């Protein structure tokens, strides 16, 4: 079952008399129980897309369905079965964390309100600040409070926009585990955006890369990394590095860094060139004390797409 369906979505803005296309005819689906990453550089159209899906913006054209319904035609059902948590929204400053959650529980028609609130406060380790006004929270505490709000109604569809911003590494790791567990236990569909490629790779089943309002590619992390045809190789030699540098230049290899007895270079994997170069290094008798080959990362894919003109 497809919980989120987007077909030919378009959104434009007027800025200084000029039309800006923020979302340019994108289409994608998110299945039940799937975490779907929506990535891209600033200005790619990710937040605009989420704002349309969550009812904060009107689309110009295209079709959006949440749990099989168009939100504008079945808003009450969609609202009660979905939710959003974003680092760029804040709860009411003048209310405590608990009071905020009570308000949202009422909005979303949550039953057994106090039990659910206490579960979430414990889950996100906010019990000690539950009765503190939001204005007095740290950025990390606020981020976790917003996540509590996002899960208050046990949503079947969850939108998470930069939801770990401001969290220290330990809490961020715990939060990622909580999100993944929620996905599995509730078979929820989650649309996830982040600039932290590590957590995207850790959490997302499939990933869509956006650039200039368009979706460039949709695939798994492992398949997307195949778009990068180069590996990085780091070598340390026991003797002078210069002969190895000269050899690599004759092979047309791009040297990134060389100092003392260490050298780092990039080499294409096309036509098995990387394997051939490494094999030649051994056959020519270079005495190595270390060899490390690093494959492409999602950061590399992100940079490649972001720099496309």
CATH code of residue 279: 3.30.70.1150
Q: Reply yes or no on whether the pLDDT at 166 is more than 60.
A: yes
CATH code of residue 118: 3.40.50.300
Residues 176 and 295 in one domain: no
Residues 191 and 243 in one domain: no
CA-wise closest residue to 157 among 212, 210, 84, 229: 84
DSSP 162: S
pLDDT at 124: 93
DSSP string, 187-249: T-EEEEE-S-HHHHHHH-SEEEEEETTEEEEEE-HHHHGGG--EEEEEEEESS-SHHHHHHHH
Domain boundary among 220, 246, 266: 220
Domain boundary among 195, 220, 245: 220
pLDDT in tens, 256-287: 989 888 999 988 888 889 999 999 999 988 88
The enclosing H or E element of 115 equals: helix 113-123
Residues 36 and 115 in one domain: yes
Reported pTM: 0.84
- Determine the Cα angle at 108 with ends 124 and 61, to 5°: 105
Residues 192 and 269 in one domain: no
Per-residue pLDDT band at 177 (split at 50, 70, 90): very high
Residues 145 and 23 in one domain: yes
Q: Is 307 helix (H, G, I), strand (E, B) or coil?
A: coil
CB 139 within 8 A of CB 166: yes
Residues 69 and 144 in one domain: yes
């Amino acid at each position: 079952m497809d919980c989120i369906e987007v077909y030919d979505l378009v959104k434009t803005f007027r800025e200084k008399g000029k039309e800006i296309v923020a979302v340019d005819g994108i289409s994608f689906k998110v299945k039940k129980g799937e975490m779907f990453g929506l990535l891209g550089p600033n200005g790619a159209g990710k937040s605009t897309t989420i704002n349309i899906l969550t009812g904060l913006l009107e689309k110009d054209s295209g079709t959006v369905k949440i749990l099989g319904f168009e939100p504008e035609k079945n808003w009450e059902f969609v609202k009660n079965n979905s939710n959003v948590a974003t680092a760029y929204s804040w709860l009411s400053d003048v209310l405590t964390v608990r009071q905020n959650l009570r308000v949202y529980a009422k909005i979303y028609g949550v039953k057994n309100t106090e039990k659910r609130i206490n579960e979430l406060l414990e889950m996100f380790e906010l019990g000690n600040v539950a009765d503190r006004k939001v204005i007095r929270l740290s950025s990390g505490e606020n981020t976790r409070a917003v996540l509590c709000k996002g899960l208050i109604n046990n949503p079947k569809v969850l939108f998470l926009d930069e939801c770990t911003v401001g969290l220290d590494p330990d809490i961020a790791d715990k939060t990622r585990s909580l999100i993944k567990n929620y996905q599995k236990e509730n078979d929820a569909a989650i649309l996830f955006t982040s600039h932290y490629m590590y957590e995207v790779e850790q959490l997302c089943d499939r990933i869509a890369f956006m650039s200039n309002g368009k979706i460039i590619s949709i695939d798994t992390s492992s398949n997307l990394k195949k778009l990068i045809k180069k590996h990085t190789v780091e070598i340390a030699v026991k003797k002078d590095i210069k002969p190895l540098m000269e050899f690599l230049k004759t092979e047309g290899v791009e040297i990134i860094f060389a100092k003392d007895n260490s050298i780092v270079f990039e080499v294409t994997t096309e036509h098995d060139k990387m394997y051939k170069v490494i094999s030649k290094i051994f056959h020519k008798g270079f005495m190595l004390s270390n060899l490390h080959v690093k494959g492409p990362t999602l950061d590399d894919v992100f940079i490649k797409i972001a720099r496309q003109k």
